[in-house]
Amino acid sequence: MPFFKNLKKIAPNVTLLAESASTAYELKDKVLKNELDLAISFNCGDYPHPLSTYPLDSEPLVLAVGGSVKIEENAFKLVHNKINLPFISADLSGGPSKFFLRHLSQLGIVFENQMQVGSSEAVLSLLRNNCGFAYVFESRCAEEIRSGQVKILPTLLGDVDLGILLLKNKTHTETPAISLMSKLIISTLQNRRLERNHFIERTCLMKRKKF
């Protein structure tokens, strides 16, 4: 990421350790326990004291199918409809998949089955080959959408964004290096046009509210 390179230029003697987590909840727990100085995380909607959040951006989620799939435009807006395709996901236990599957269940929409594949690239490959439908970040399939290999179908959910934020613990002593890192993350990743009002409530999938 660019801010790692920038930090190395500004503070060449500072050593950073970066790690990933499988879920936003895991990252939140590590920051809360002071196991991490800070985290860049998707918004999971529940940040009790002493956690502090700084909104960075949000990613639109879309319902995607292969460009050649023969399916009614409003198929996913029809209550109790049957979709003759499997649901594809890189992580069926992840927030976007759970959120969309819950939505389909509430509408009584049924489909062939669920397929968990190894990566987002595998999801895109299956979509390009018209092998199912997926609820994905629009940015991940932007090129395929432009080329017509993948198309977007409407849902009753409307526009849905998943928030991205910087997460820290207010009680954790912040070193000059971490303070600098925070500033670089914000300057690099912050979307200046981001709507910050009600960010936590609006961009959390499982606790989402409309404003």
pLDDT tens, position by position, 165-192? 999 999 988 888 888 889 888 988 899 9
Q: Which domains does the chain have, with CATH numbers?
A: 2-58+160-202 (3.40.190.10), 59-153 (3.40.190.10)
Three-class DSSP category at 202: helix
Instruction: Specify the range with the lowest mean pLDDT, choosing from 9-13, 44-48, 54-58, 136-140.
Output: 9-13
How crowded is residue 25: how many other Cβ atoms within 10 Å of its Cβ? 14
Average pLDDT over residues 69-93: 96
Give this prediction's pTM: 0.85
Measure the CA–CA gap between 178 and 94, rounded to whole angstroms: 29
User: Which is it for strands 51-66 and 160-169: parallel, antiparallel or unpaired?
Assistant: antiparallel
